[in-house]
Chain A
């Protein structure tokens, strides 16, 4: 670890802190439908959208109608994406003449993945998706799934803030205003800044260039197997050209981070020089991942009239963030003791450490930071391969997702995930002092805790069941690339990432198979919608309750004590559920690596 590495991490975090209040205040204004400086341009577009889609903007919804509208919209837009993938051969903006996304299970998995804000990818963008599908299908869902998440968090916050009311807002209005006022303007600006750094933005066919030094490579026959001669030696081929994939990348790159979606335009995601060319583009993308999630804590404080509560939640998130990044940075900087004859020591000439699957311009600090951030939030974009991390370095992203990604979290999803934990925390505090728990003037009762427990239980259930099937059945184990405990980590990571709607992977696992496509799609849909519906039910239930003024016996949710209790609840729930799985995967691998054992 270096002083400069830590300085970059603190600089990143300082920028997140800096944008938290402005974003939080602005979001409050947007969702309270107050005037903003952008109204002269955006109000006409908003009204036009309501007119053509038949939305009555004054209509208020109960939580059930809010949930049904959200489900219907998700279903319709998911079907639209599926059809687009299957029909892309007939659609415009396809200079590489890519055919339908095949097989249909892959198209289904991808449609479910992008609708649920997961962006799990069983395909490589540059060899599978036309520019049209990328723009109008995948990037479009990056906007929409993010806006759906933010809308739900706002609806939940309204549920806490409102008193004796039946309604929690209008889904369509929240959806449209989130896109027009927050995501779209930020993305137009952000995309251009990224282009200035070298992120490409064009619609031309892939370029072919003449290599400076022709390369000798193994000839690959049909079926992807290397061709061998009669004596079993590989046949070599001379390659003189390099094909360089292009596309409208910047416009998708920015919403991918800002909306915590994470699905790369290219297979290598934000490690690809055309997605993330410089350390500055890297910093901008990192801050974008946390920006809205962090701003929402301020919105929470503002809308509920308790700014100090917002900061108490923010502090809990920050402490968990620093714990993760410290562990990941430390483990990756130590390197891999099994690689003899290599120089992994840090010096002025190199960052050293475990460089397998990492880019030189990012080095150790920025790759470890990214892995922590992308899994604290449910982003899932990567700038280095988590599969090639050291066991403990790779444990951090996995554990982050297992804690339900509430450290700033997915846009919206992190906030309502955290609110579930808050309900549990005040419930436990209430049990300890023997009083009915209250949260910001609302009594937390049996119904609320039952719904919160549903969320807490569904998540590990779907992960552990599907992982268990995958590690005993042949159709599951045949996909594993890395043998030994690391293989178990690959499988658990896959289902954890999909249930948490993260989308990052230990990508050695071959997941474009019938089993992983279908089981994965089911996991993602369950992970998204079986979280949202109970969360909305709590919101509706809280909105209808009377306000109870705080008394001497009320557990305050604005103090460091609350922050500590909240962290403890998150860690205990996570550890009790997943420790056995973690000890058989990354922890065992770490011990064996220290003992010099390979697989």
Chain B
């Protein structure tokens, strides 16, 4: 009993050093050398300061941008406070929230049924993606706002639509942040103002 107690203490110390400190530091060193971009969160460089991470979503609600999904992370898209709404399917608060978002989406777009991902909160609270259906749903609005044709935008959308990984895994999806960044580049809002 006493011998096993001493072994317990020594084993805790020795294995904590090996598995709790040496192992993660070794993996960190290897990761930083082999995959430096991925290991650091794939930040997108901007003017002096990064403007986001490729794989962390941002909130978009202006008419000129493709909208991202509603968020329950902190105050919305808080990437230091991940989480979902946790509303159950029969919770009146869920029904009311979706009702409000459906009404606003229908008034801004064509008025038909809204693709479900566009009015439901994601699990992380900063899902970087929307479905191709949700992007398609917003095309006419963006074309109007950006003074572009739907066909021009569809080309852009195609470029930012990821198919299933290896053609099999996961679901087709559109990266909202990258799509909107290129939207600003190719169809800037002040294009007309400049021309006049």
Bound together, the chains give a CA A161 to CA B24 distance in angstroms of: 37
Closest Cβ of chain B: how far from A264's Cβ, in Å? 9
Q: How many Å from the CB of B120 to the closest CB on chain A?
A: 4
A263 interfacial by beta-carbon distance below 8 Å: no
Known: A357-B84, A385-B123. A363 touches B40 (CB 8 A): no
The answer, among B10, B23, B57, B87, for a CB contact under 8 Å with A387, is: B87
- Residue A243, interface by CB 8 Å: yes
Give min CB distance, B140 to chain A, whole Å.
15
Tell whether, in the assembled complex, residue A274 and residue B20 are in contact, meaning their CB atoms are under 8 Å apart: no
A512 within 8 A of partner (CB): no
Alpha-carbon distance between A198 and B87 when the two chains are bound, in angstroms: 29
CB-based nearest B residue for A203: B28
Q: Is the CB of A388 within 8 A of B3?
A: no
Q: Number of contacting residues on A, CB 8 A? A: 139
Beta-carbon contacts under 8 Å, B50-108 to A: 50-53, 55-62, 65, 69, 73, 75-92, 94-95, 98-99, 102-103, 106
Whether the Cβ atoms of A245 and B39 lie closer than 8 Å is no
Closest Cβ–Cβ distance, residue A181 to chain B (whole Å): 13
A213 to B60, CA, bound (A): 6
Determine whether A280 belongs to the interface, using a CB cutoff of 8 Å to chain B.
Answer: yes
Q: Given A244-B41, A358-B122, A360-B127: A73 and B165 within 8 A (CB)? A: no
Shortest Cβ distance from A46 into chain B, in angstroms? 11
- How many angstroms between the C-alpha atoms of A218 and B76 in the bound complex? 9
Known contacts A210-B50, A213-B60; is-contact A387 B172 (Cβ 8 Å): no
Q: Check B24 against A252 for contact (C-beta < 8 Å).
A: yes
Interface presence of A80 (CB below 8 A): yes
Residue pair A383, B123 in contact (C-beta under 8 Å): yes
- Closest CB in chain B relative to A89 CB, distance in Å: 18
Question: Whole-angstrom distance from the CB of B61 to the nearest CB of chain A?
Answer: 7
User: Once the chains are docked, how many angstroms separate the CA of A11 from the CA of B69?
Assistant: 30
A266 and chain B: residue at smallest CB distance: B82
**Chain B residues closer than 8 Å to A187, beta-carbon distance:** 23, 27
A349-B170 in contact given A54-B6, A207-B50 (Cβ < 8 Å): no
- Measured CA separation A177–B87 after assembly (Å): 44
User: How far apart are B196's CB and chain A's nearest CB, in angstroms?
Assistant: 25
Per the bound structure, the CA–CA distance linking A277 and B91 in Å amounts to: 30
What is the CB-to-nearest-CB distance from A222 to chain B, in angstroms, rounded to a whole number?
A: 15
B38 CB contact (under 8 Å) in A4, A199, A358: A199
B78 neighbours in A (Cβ, 8 Å): 242-243
Chain A's closest residue to B6 (CB) is A54
Q: Is B146 in the interface zone, CB < 8 Å from A?
A: no
- Judge whether A341 and B116 touch: CB under 8 Å: no
What range describes how many residues of B lie at the interface? 35 or more
B116 touches A387 (CB 8 A): no
- Across the interface, B169 reaches (CB within 8 A) one of A220, A266, A268, A280, namely A280
Evaluate contact between B87 and A267: CB separation under 8 angstroms. no
Is the CB–CB distance between B75 and A218 below 8 Å? yes
Q: Which of B15, B80, B90, B134 has the most CB of A within 10 A?
A: B90
Minimum distance in angstroms from A390 CB to a CB of chain B: 5
Q: Are A507 and B10 in contact (CB under 8 A)?
A: no
A198 CA to B113 CA in the complex, in Å? 34
Chain A residues near B16: list those with CB within 8 A. Answer: 80, 136, 140
Please report the C-alpha to C-alpha distance between residue A336 and residue B171 in the assembled complex, in whole angstroms.
20
Which residues of B, 31-50, contact A by the 8 Å Cβ criterion?
31-32, 34-35, 38-44, 46, 49-50
Taking CB atoms and an 8 Å cut-off, the chain A residues in 64-110 that contact chain B are 65, 68-69, 72-73, 75-77, 80
Decide if A213 touches B62 in the complex (CB within 8 Å): yes
Interface string of A253-286 (1 = CB under 8 A from B): 0000000000000111001111001111011000
Question: A129 to chain B: closest CB distance in Å?
Answer: 13
In the complex, what residues of A have CB within 8 A of residue B102's CB? Answer: 339-342
Contact B43 A143 (CB under 8 A): no
Do A243 and B116 touch across chains, with their CB atoms under 8 A apart?
Answer: no
Q: Are B20 and A339 in contact (CB under 8 A)?
A: no
A349 touching B132 in the complex, CB below 8 Å, given contacts A140-B20, A172-B11, A215-B61? yes
Q: Contact at B80–A206, with CB atoms within 8 Å?
A: yes
| In the bound complex, CA of A195 to CA of B37 (Å) | 9
Please, how many angstroms separate the alpha-carbon atoms of A283 and B44 in the complex? 27
B83:A267 contact, CB within 8 angstroms: yes
With A136-B21, A242-B79 as known contacts, state yes or no: A486 contacts B116, CB within 8 Å. Answer: no
Interface residues of chain B, those whose CB is within 8 Å of chain A, are 1, 3-12, 14-16, 18-21, 23-24, 26-28, 30-32, 34-35, 38-44, 46, 49-53, 55-62, 65, 69, 73, 75-92, 94-95, 98-99, 102-103, 106, 112-117, 119-134, 136, 164-166, 168-173, 177, 180-181, 184
Beyond A49-B14, A69-B7, A354-B116, 5 additional contacts (C-beta under 8 Å) are A135-B24, A242-B52, A242-B77, A244-B41, A508-B86
| 26 residue pairs A–B, Cβ–Cβ below 8 Å | A11-B168, A45-B18, A54-B3, A69-B8, A140-B20, A143-B19, A176-B15, A195-B39, A208-B49, A209-B50, A213-B65, A242-B56, A243-B79, A244-B43, A252-B24, A268-B73, A268-B84, A342-B98, A342-B116, A355-B117, A357-B122, A358-B120, A363-B171, A384-B84, A385-B85, A388-B84
Would you list the 8 A-B pairs with minimal beta carbon distance, nearest first? A279-B170, A271-B123, A136-B20, A268-B82, A279-B169, A363-B171, A508-B86, A349-B133
